[in-house]
Amino acid sequence: MKSVAKVLLAALFFLAACGGQQANEQTDPQKAVEPLAIANEQLYKLSQPLALAGVPAPVLVMPFDSGVVALDTAEWDCSKVVVSGDLTDGDRDGIPVNATYNGRCTWSYSDSSGSAEGHWEFTNLKIQDPDDADPGAGVKASGQVSWGVQTGTTSVTLVWNLDRHDLVKQGATYNFDYEGSWTATVAGNTYNFKYDLSGDWTPDNASDPWGDGVINAKGSFSGSGPSCASWSATFTLSALHFQGSKIVSGSGSYTVTGCDGKTASATVTWSASRVCVTVGNNSACVPND
Ligand SMILES: [Ca+2]
Ligand SMILES: [Ca+2]
Q: In the prediction, which pLDDT does 18 show? A: 25
Nearest-angstrom CA–CA distance, 174 and 62: 24
Nearest alpha-carbon partner for 270 in 253, 288, 257: 288
Which residues pair with residue 68 across a beta bridge? none
- For 151-187, b/e burial (b = at least 16 CB within 10 A) is beeebebbbbbbeebbbbbeeeebbbbbbbbbebeee
Q: Which ligand lies nearest the alpha carbon of 93?
A: 1
CA of 140 to the centre of ligand 1 (A): 11
Separation of CA 58 and ligand 2 centre (Å): 21
Q: What three-state secondary structure class fits 170?
A: strand
Q: What is the pLDDT of residue 78?
A: 75
pLDDT in tens, 163-218: 999 999 999 999 999 999 999 999 889 999 999 999 999 999 999 999 999 999 99
Query: How distant, in Å, are the alpha carbons of 17, 31, 121, 250, 255 from that of 87?
Result: 12, 12, 20, 41, 43
Name residues of the chain where pLDDT drops below 50.
1-22, 65-71
Q: Are 88 and 98 in contact (CB under 8 A)?
A: no
| Cα 92 to ligand 2 centre (Å) | 8
Q: Where are the domains of the chain?
A: 2-205
| 214 closest CA partner among 269, 174, 268, 267 | 174
Q: What is the reported pLDDT for 172? A: 94
Distance 217 CA to ligand 2 centre (A): 23
Distance 36 CA to ligand 2 centre (A): 14
Q: What are phi and psi of 184, to 5 degrees?
A: -115, 135
